[in-house]
Structure 1
Amino acid sequence: MPQSIGSAAAAKKLKKTLDHAGFYPALVADVILDALDGREPTGELVHLETHVERTEVHRHITVLVMTEDMLVVAQADDQHLDEDGPEPLAHVSTESVPLAAVSSVVLSAAWARPQDYRPGDQPREVTLAISWSGAQRLDLVPAGCADPQCDADHGYTGTTALEDLVLRISADADGPDAVESARRFARAIRSASAVPDAHPHPAPARSGTISARLGRPHQPRAGA
């Protein structure tokens, strides 16, 4: 008997969401099916991004599927085999994360015209960050000093934070329904992962400032 993605209702809902995204839905569904190992999904979030590089258009999809005890993260993108390759090649990866390993769920939101805010108003965009293995995101910028005439090399300064997955969903780009779906998924995984004694030895969520003398950045070539 062929394996199915959980219950018929859950499978139908996930399939409809993947079909709406339109990014190789049959392929992505089969990959998720394999990663679920027969578990029934209790919630999902699908986010499709499109990047334009000169004359090429690349797409990337992130699918989060939550079960009672697991978070399955599937990511896929397409790219040409080579410069002359007529056919794209889809790269798909999955990661299965026990909900007990989720150490942080951060949801940031931005509201337009906050002075006119009324209860229930939807934010214009949200950023969802989920941490589970202690992977660090590092943001560096050139360091400076208070002297505006100084041209000395002060190295770099930046911030580091524990983040395994970061998704930015905008009402303008993705639609208001996508923003609400992200907020709903954030509430669901936050509730499911906030189990007493689920993290006997959680990794500390560090966020600090670092500085390092890494030398000056390469200057762009003339005409580049």
Structure 2
Amino acid sequence: IGAAQGYWIAYHRIPSFIVTLAGMLIFRGICQALLGGGSSVGPLPASFKALSSGFIPDVIGPLTLIPPTVNAAGKTIVGSGLTLHMTTIVLGLIAVLAYAYFGLRARRKRERHGYEAEPFPLFVVKTLVGSALALFLVVQFASYRGLPVVLLVMGVLISLFVFVTKRMTIGRRIYAMGGNAKAAQLSGINTERLTLMVFINMGVLSALGGLIIAARLGQAVPAAGLGSELDVIAAVFIGGASAMGGVGQVIG
């Protein structure tokens, strides 16, 4: 689907808003026709539903800080005590340390190249507040059932695309094309092929999002996600992306 839409946008210069809106209506209609008027497919197996509602296994082992309370009948009171999912704790600590390290590294790099950097006290406060909020969420997850699988998937995707956009040539080319497609083309960038690749990538991500929604619902429903278009568009612009292109980051 991403390739089909990207082809018309890249090689025929049809505005992406028109192509994607028309594609959404066309493919949704095809989906309903194939399923006999909108019938759902399911129920889906529990192993598939774990993609949305599952939790990562605790390979390290739980740590009991407060033993659970036992009533007079000898039964454990649900919700009493405090046991931490240690795999979640370790992953959370690694993520927080990586956040602080790469933030400090980026700041030093800007200073080394003569660019303006935020005041160091402000950087420290921002890092401490962000780390504290992250650790709070990690403890909340660890005291329940651990890190949700869908959150782990999101974290991996964010890390991957941050690396691609900041450290790889194709990421720089995407920013250049978004800022000024004509200038990017004159500098030697194959903007048509790059546009097609971007839309293929978005098609893959959309497919993954569809799988997660189907896993959460427990069945594949043609009308799933109906009405979410405005929420997605709002999230993109609130996150800092520009309608003119060339501005914004994966993490906002």
Q: Taking CA–CA contacts closer than 8 Å with sequence separation of 6 or more, which of the two structures ends up with the larger relative contact order? A: 2
Larger radius of gyration: 2
Q: TM-score, normalised by structure 2?
A: 0.17
Higher helix share: 2
Higher strand share: 1
